Chain A
């Protein structure tokens, strides 16, 4: 069982994601509604995995990713993206994101990707 922080400005999306994660037997230890909160939670909770939405207010996912990688270069970050954001995703991967999941979520894929990153 892994400890996971999720960051998304939509309460609905967070709940959806949380359900998927918990069904797979992992624990969501923190929820953030923007990038800044996500970075703070990462520092405070030192989770096994952070899932970051790319588009968020205050501080977006890309910025949060940079901060998190600065704090811990080996941090496991999964980006969460809509369609048509391939360029941003590629950038995120180059910045150190370990993977990505695409909205709308397909539970099976999300879990597979999480497992892959956790085991890597």
Chain B
């Protein structure tokens, strides 16, 4: 169970959003009139979801209240009857209360316990009336009176005044329940409200009023017993109003449409720049540049609306990990890094399953039992590191464990058995490539691999998901040292400053982030090492590649070479450098999906499509 203080902002927002939409739907159902069998079915389902949601944040009493109503709905389902007026009123009351709880979610359910108990009591009344609980005496009148105390607007020390009032009640032996504000804000002096609301036993109400009236600085003391419902509603509205201005909900389709309009604008403004620069009209050029800048800002803003931090997924990992480890009798420690890295909402939703899946796999098959780990001289507690970071390649999400790693020999054996490769080729294959077998559907699920080296169940699914997002998956593993799975997603900032080049009659876009230098070379500078062409760049040989050749086009490369890459460098041989521009990166169309070097495509100002290249991913093409 997650408790509220562990929930981070994003989680909380998504919780609030989900509950809000459920409550809205319930309100809609209430407003529609007769609540018959169909509506009751839907209500039952909604209540069931609500119950789970509140249970997951540790709101026990709230959960129980929802559970009670769920039971009641379940009864109705059995009878096929329409909801009675009484139960309908109860439904409204519960929705109102849940809205109020939601609006004050960061304060926990404590301050609402009274309200919850009261609604629970209505159930027991109902039960006793229905004769289900014959023995139970009619529910004892709780006899609480709510009293609102208003503090003089001129009173300088509101918190101190409230404290004096409460102390006065205590000194006089009047038991009270503080409804609002919460005691913490009084004690630390942060209270803003000038209204103090308490509930006291009804027989003490008059004494309380007299007593409090005499405290200087109190302008009015009113009992709200007779108008309890109204009073409660006032409070609820009041609380709701406080929470209102923070967020508005927008259909994400609308954002998508906005984004696509802005992408068109970007392309158009690029064309405008090209046209304007031909006119040599400085005024026009400067205005066009300003327009282009404004379009850029607009796009950034729209993109940022769609961004959600990864903490939304990451924050639930520890719980899942500990639960699973417990079940398997293993010990793990989870380290989370980079949970604040933001990612597009659509990508985030798709990433959830792969990430959780990999973590579960790491614990299930990677991390050894405490005994086994001790025997290997490892700490008993296995370590899972989930790490996200931004890099020029995009967003990198790594999940590492220090478990048993993957046994390469087992992969080889399996690959041979399955006839996927010849013995000869296998011998030459570098380790990294051997792991790629694990991504073949069905390969890894076969018994031995899973039993022995673990990894693999559903890795093909992970790979497909990530590739559908324009990214790729890498796997590193060291026997007995552990495994790292790295998912690289294209930058969410879909606009990238890129250099447009030509190679093999195709124009390509290369993000300037990854370009180190562009230089001319002579044939003499090109060497060949192990049948791979290389050029010397700053004391080291860098593999020389040509985009046109990699992608099977006619090779028209000149001796222009672009050095690019961060960790691993490559030299790209090209025909022509065209120019710099801001490009809108769009997802890779399915026809050319699967080329890891292509992270997306962009539409140039003349309407032609240029693939966007990730130079580092091209390193893979070097044998």
Q: Which residues of A contact B (CB under 8 A)?
A: 81, 83, 85-87, 89-90, 93-94, 98-100, 102, 108-109, 112-113, 115-116, 119-120
Contacts and interface: CB of A to CB of B under 8 A. Distances in A.
A89 B215 contact: no
B215 A116 contact: yes
B189 A87 contact: yes
Given A99-B164, A100-B164, A120-B171, A86 B215 contact: no
B623 to A, nearest CB: 72
B214 A100 contact: no
B156 interface: yes
Contacts of A119: 214
B163 A93 contact: yes
A100 B160 contact: yes
A112 B152 CA distance: 14
Contact of A112 (B164, B187, B214): B214
A102 B217 CA distance: 11
A112 B216 CA distance: 6
B159 interface: yes
Contact of A102 (B156, B164, B186, B214): B156
A109 B217 contact: yes
Contacts of A93: 160, 163-164, 167
A32 B160 CA distance: 25
Given A83-B156, A113-B215, 12 more contacts: A86-B160, A90-B160, A90-B187, A93-B160, A93-B163, A100-B157, A100-B160, A115-B214, A116-B216, A119-B214, A120-B168, A120-B171
Nearest to B160: A89
Interface in B438-481: none
Contacts of B215: 113, 116
B164 A86 contact: no
Contacts of A81: 157
Nearest to B187: A90
A19 to B, nearest CB: 18
A100 B163 CA distance: 11
Contacts of B159: 86, 90
Contacts of A116: 214-216
Contacts of A98: 164
A89 B168 contact: no
Contacts of A90: 159-160, 163, 186-187, 189
A115 B216 CA distance: 10
By Cβ-Cβ distance, the 3 closest A-B pairs, closest first, are: A112-B216, A89-B160, A86-B189
Nearest to B191: A86
Interface string B145-169: 0000000000011011001100110
Interface size class of B (residues with CB under 8 A): 10 to 19
Nearest to A100: B160
A109 B214 CA distance: 11
A75 to B, nearest CB: 14
A111 B163 CA distance: 20
Contacts of A87: 189
A109 B216 contact: yes
A17 B202 CA distance: 40
Q: Which of B160, B167, B186, B214 has the most CB of A within 10 A?
A: B160
A102 B156 CA distance: 8
B167 A102 contact: no
23 contacts: A83-B157, A85-B157, A86-B157, A86-B159, A86-B160, A87-B189, A89-B157, A89-B160, A90-B160, A90-B163, A90-B186, A90-B187, A93-B160, A93-B163, A93-B164, A98-B164, A99-B164, A102-B156, A108-B216, A109-B216, A112-B214, A115-B214, A116-B216
Interface string B201-243: 0000000000000111100000000000000000000000000
Q: Which of A81, A85, A93, A108 has the most CB of B within 10 A?
A: A93
A79 to B, nearest CB: 9
A5 to B, nearest CB: 21
A90 B167 CA distance: 11
Contacts of A113: 215-216
A40 B156 CA distance: 31
Q: Which of A81, A89, A108, A109 has the most CB of B within 10 A?
A: A89
B365 to A, nearest CB: 57
Q: Which of B159, B163, B164, B172 has the most CB of A within 10 A?
A: B164
B173 to A, nearest CB: 12
Given A87-B189, A116-B214, A102 B157 contact: yes
Contacts of B187: 90
A100 B496 CA distance: 64
Nearest to A96: B167
Nearest to B166: A93
Nearest to A92: B160
Contacts of B168: 120
Nearest to B164: A99
A99 B164 CA distance: 6
B208 to A, nearest CB: 14
A119 B210 CA distance: 13
Interface in B416-430: none
A116 B159 CA distance: 19
A83 B158 CA distance: 11
Nearest to A116: B214
Q: Which of B214, B215, B216 has the most CB of A within 10 A?
A: B216
B153 to A, nearest CB: 14
Contacts of A89: 157, 160
Contacts of A94: 163
A112 B161 CA distance: 14
A94 B170 CA distance: 13
Contacts of A99: 164
Nearest to B216: A112
A119 to B, nearest CB: 8
A99 B216 CA distance: 10
Nearest to B171: A120
B498 to A, nearest CB: 58
A85 B217 CA distance: 17
Contacts of A109: 216-217
A112 B167 CA distance: 17
Nearest to B168: A120
A98 B160 CA distance: 11
A100 B160 CA distance: 8
Nearest to A84: B156
B154 to A, nearest CB: 9
Contacts of A86: 156-157, 159-160, 189
